[in-house]
Chains A and B, each alone.
Chain A
Amino acid sequence: MIDKLAFLFVEGIKNFTRNKLTNFLCIVTIFINFTILGTFFVLGYNTDNVVNFLRSKYTFEIFLNSETSLDQAVNLKNELSNNSLVTSVDFIGKEESAKIFYDEFGEDIVEVLGYNPLPTSLKVNLEENGFDANQVNTLIEEYKLNALIDEISYQGNYIDDIESRINLFIFAFLVLVLLVIFISIQIIGNTTNLSLSNRKDFIEILRYNGASNLFIKTPFFIETFLQSLIGSLLAFFLVKYGFVVINSYLGVNIEIDYYLWAWMIVLSLIISIYASGRSMKRILV
């Protein structure tokens, strides 16, 4: 049995080295398709991070008018803190605003203007669990009527919009994955067909000598396995190091899933073995 397996393995390797052109085409197909898939997978993986980031930013800021006293501001802060939609409220005084301004723009606004024009503000952190945009909007609309408040800055409305666009992106990604898988199956299947018809005589001779279908198929599967392994590994390295270069060049932090290599190899194997198995089934009845 071991000798038989060894023979089949060697046959698979021999086939692989003999049919250079068809194998090259197959590897290139897998490489291109999996580079596209891998890239979108990484982007999809990071989209999740973007959503999580946005969700962590569930806040709005209240800018109080210049006549608001400290007591009034503290009362407002306490009132907001007791609201069930709110987890906490940060008080940002005029001095702290000037400090934030300095940190962000490098200018001391008090020194430039001779007075501090920045308002006292309240940063309201919203409850993420069971977040309801409508309730938050109602709350904001209510407070906009408050005479102590000059302006309320809230970007939450964009979150829904961004999330819906992200969902569209994820949907497009899934469609693309299916499309790439379908194209891969067709191309790998056709390459296998070509390979099988090139070796029609070989298969016929094997059959006349008592080879079972499994015996005939095994070297083809080994060949397909090698094509998938090489194609998907090359794609993985391109995706991985491509994003490393992009990260350092653009100064962004696109994360790459640690198991990216594993799923790329496994998926390519499944696709290749399915595609070649389907082709063989048609020919090796």
Chain B
Amino acid sequence: MIDFENITYNYSHQSGVYDIDLEIQDNEFCFLVGPTGSGKTTLLKLLYFDLFPHKGKVNILNYSSKNVKKSSIHKIRKKIGVVFQDYKLLKQRTVYENIALPLHINGVGRKKIKQLVREALDLTELSHYSKKFPDELSGGEQQRVCIARAIVKNPDIILADEPTGNLDPTTGHKILKIFEQINKEGTCVVMATHNYKLISDKTYRVIELNEGRIVSG
């Protein structure tokens, strides 16, 4: 499902990732760990084609970074749910509208949208917040909205970039639980984190990065 073939990506003013060879299977749950600046976010960005490798290629969901057309990138992103550390929510839209957005993009009918958003709200325990605006919510609640938005379209892969970075340990565990549940339903989850404590009791695969290179996993 995900295959990095000897990937290198250089930033002009900071370190990137180098010589990455990595395979992640369908339905797998794995953590990308490493200190800040180790290349976790870069790897995730390469996965949803926000960045393109300078060397090597990324294969994901039958698309390759080598020959994917810019006009096709949206098709790949429709199958990937991304959870951002800074949430990236639309502040002028309600929680419901934020979560429904990917479904509108995918052309889902209004009735079906209602049903799917309700399910996502239930799963993320946000049912009572559907009419609120992001600024009226706490950090943990906003992160759950972001997760709900990522999962509502039933993606093949969830990419989560430091989803617990700004949250207290209890909320962090809650969020991790949601991801585990999603993974149980068959979605591949790749979660970047530098919170070793949070994942210490988990048995999932841990891919460790340091200075842009894989050191274990």
Q: In the complex, what residue of chain A is closest to B88 when comparing beta carbons?
A: A205
- B90 close to A1 (CB less than 8 A): no
- B105 close to A209 (CB less than 8 A): yes
> Which residues on the A side are within 8 Å of B105 (C-beta)?
206, 209-211, 215
**With A202-B90, A204-B88 as given contacts, are A209 and B102 in contact (CB-CB < 8 Å)?**
yes
A207 at the B interface (CB under 8 A): yes
B61 at the A interface (CB under 8 A): no
State the Cβ distance, B92 to closest chain A Cβ, in Å.
7
State the Cβ distance, B162 to closest chain A Cβ, in Å.
15
Q: Mark B29-50, 1 if CB is under 8 A from A, else 0.
A: 0000000000000000000101
State the 3 A-B residue pairs at the shortest beta-carbon distance, nearest first. A210-B78, A210-B77, A4-B107
- B75 close to A210 (CB less than 8 A): yes
State the Cβ distance, A212 to closest chain B Cβ, in Å.
4
In the complex, which of the residues B84, B90, B105 has the most CB atoms of chain A within 10 Å of its own CB atom? B105
State the A residues within 8 Å of B (CB): 1, 3-4, 7, 18, 201-202, 204-213, 215, 285
B128 at the A interface (CB under 8 A): no
The answer, among A3, A201, A212, for a CB contact under 8 Å with B74, is A212
Q: In the complex, what residue of chain A is closest to B76 when comparing beta carbons?
A: A210
In the complex, which of the residues A1, A4, A201 has the most CB atoms of chain B within 10 Å of its own CB atom? A4
Cα of A204 to Cα of B80 in the assembled complex, Å: 15
B202 at the A interface (CB under 8 A): no
- A210 close to B102 (CB less than 8 A): yes
- B48 close to A208 (CB less than 8 A): yes
| B137-171 CB contacts (< 8 Å) to partner A | 149, 153
Cα of A1 to Cα of B105 in the assembled complex, Å: 10
Cα of A212 to Cα of B72 in the assembled complex, Å: 8
> Which residues on the A side are within 8 Å of B104 (C-beta)?
3-4, 7
Cα of A209 to Cα of B100 in the assembled complex, Å: 11
State the Cβ distance, A261 to closest chain B Cβ, in Å.
35
State the Cβ distance, A4 to closest chain B Cβ, in Å.
4
Cα of A208 to Cα of B104 in the assembled complex, Å: 14
State the Cβ distance, B192 to closest chain A Cβ, in Å.
15
Q: How large is the interface on B (under 10, 10 to 19, 20 to 34, 35 or more residues)?
A: 20 to 34
> Could you write out 14 A-B pairs with CB less than 8 Å apart?
A4-B107, A18-B92, A201-B88, A201-B90, A205-B89, A205-B90, A207-B74, A207-B77, A209-B149, A210-B76, A211-B105, A212-B71, A212-B74, A213-B71
Q: In the complex, what residue of chain A is closest to B50 when comparing beta carbons?
A: A208
**With A18-B92, A202-B90, A209-B105 as given contacts, are A3 and B82 in contact (CB-CB < 8 Å)?**
no
State the Cβ distance, B97 to closest chain A Cβ, in Å.
10
State the Cβ distance, A127 to closest chain B Cβ, in Å.
65
**With A7-B104, A202-B90 as given contacts, are A209 and B77 in contact (CB-CB < 8 Å)?**
yes
B108 at the A interface (CB under 8 A): yes
**With A202-B90, A210-B78 as given contacts, are A3 and B110 in contact (CB-CB < 8 Å)?**
yes
The answer, among B70, B79, B88, for a CB contact under 8 Å with A208, is B88
State the Cβ distance, B127 to closest chain A Cβ, in Å.
22
> Which residues on the B side are within 8 Å of A204 (C-beta)?
88
> Which residues on the B side are within 8 Å of A208 (C-beta)?
48, 50, 77, 82, 84, 88
- B92 close to A285 (CB less than 8 A): no
> Which residues on the A side are within 8 Å of B92 (C-beta)?
18
B106 at the A interface (CB under 8 A): yes
State the Cβ distance, B77 to closest chain A Cβ, in Å.
4
- B90 close to A3 (CB less than 8 A): no
Given A209-B101, A210-B74: 15 more A-B contacts, CB < 8 Å? A3-B104, A3-B110, A4-B107, A7-B104, A205-B90, A206-B101, A208-B77, A209-B82, A209-B149, A210-B79, A211-B74, A212-B71, A212-B74, A213-B74, A215-B74
Cα of A197 to Cα of B79 in the assembled complex, Å: 27
> Which residues on the B side are within 8 Å of A285 (C-beta)?
70
Cα of A207 to Cα of B89 in the assembled complex, Å: 13
> Which residues on the B side are within 8 Å of A205 (C-beta)?
88-90, 101
Cα of A206 to Cα of B101 in the assembled complex, Å: 8
In the complex, which of the residues B50, B70, B77 has the most CB atoms of chain A within 10 Å of its own CB atom? B77
- A210 close to B106 (CB less than 8 A): yes
Cα of A202 to Cα of B108 in the assembled complex, Å: 20
> Which residues on the B side are within 8 Å of A206 (C-beta)?
101, 105
> Which residues on the A side are within 8 Å of B107 (C-beta)?
1, 3-4
Cα of A204 to Cα of B107 in the assembled complex, Å: 19
